[in-house]
Amino acid sequence: MYGKLLASGVVALVAAALFATAAAATPATAPGVASAGSAHVVRNGHTFGVADVGQCSLGGPQQGQSPGVTHVGIVSYGAATSTCSADLTAHTSKSTANGSAFALTALQSYGGPQIKIANYQVTCSATTNGTNASWQFSGLTGITVPQQVPNNFVVPVKSAGGRLLANVILNEVILPNPNDGSITLNMIHVVLFPNGTPPGTTPMSGDVYVGSTACSPTT
């Protein structure tokens, strides 16, 4: 996996997953899906959910789009599009989602930053021999990321007083066990208040995903 900071933002590629040749193995991952993200947040006992934004799937619909979703004071996603396609002759597939204007505002009332991304893309490609996934984004504010982003890289987000407010996981890669060659990639996964909210504040917990895709080796 390699990532580098460019003028346009951060770009990363996850190397092809190893493919287990056992023909009887059933892929643990979808043949091909992509979305601009999703969220499940519980604040003071109330659930705020965002279903996969603009999702496409090889199983249909193969084209996805969304005007965006907003939960004020928690999270918002801008307009998003996606395409999932397969070439039956070449035995390949490709699933791509493009998102925009993401903003996580849930941390601000707890003394944390607003995390924003102007534009981003995730892609998962598959052949009969395995899969690979990639992502890129531009216009990130609120957190600082390194020039090279390893798999499952965690950025702790803390208040001025040092309280952990969230763990931001970049380049979250999930491989099945046993490995059948499929892969799931979350460009960003935010775990809200993993140690609980500060005393005297409104309880909140949940997970926020930005740019999600998955695919399995083709047949």
User: What is the tens place of the pLDDT at every residue in 54-67?
Assistant: 999 999 999 999 99
- The predicted-structure confidence for 112-153, as pLDDT tens digits, reads as follows 999 999 999 999 999 999 999 999 999 999 999 988 899 999
Q: Which range, of 72-76, 123-127, 177-181, averages the lowest pLDDT?
A: 177-181
Residue that wins the pLDDT comparison between 100 and 176: 100
Mean pLDDT in the chain? 89
Closest CA to 44 of 83, 74, 7, 87: 74
> Is the backbone peptide bond immediately before 146 cis, with ω within 30 degrees of 0?
no
Q: Which pLDDT band, with edges at 50, 70 and 90, does 208 fall under?
A: very high
Q: What is the pLDDT of residue 179?
A: 85
Sequence-distant (6+) residues with CB within 8 A of 102 are: 36, 37, 75, 76, 77, 78, 116, 117, 120, 210
Given this model, what pLDDT does residue 2 score?
A: 25
Q: How far apart (Å, rounded) are the C-alpha atoms in residues 53 and 38? A: 6
Please, what sign has the CA dihedral across residues 21, 27, 32, 38?
negative
Q: Where are the domains of the chain?
A: 2-15+27-215
Q: Are strands 75-77 and 92-104 parallel, antiparallel or unpaired?
A: antiparallel
Answer yes or no: is pLDDT of 162 > 70. Answer: yes
Q: Which of 168, 186, 208 is nearest to 50 (CA)?
A: 208
pLDDT (0 to 100) of residue 14: 67
pLDDT at 8 over 90: no
Query: What DSSP character marks residue 141?
Result: B
The encoded tokens of residue 214 equal 């998955």
User: What stretch of H or E contains 32?
Assistant: strand 32-43
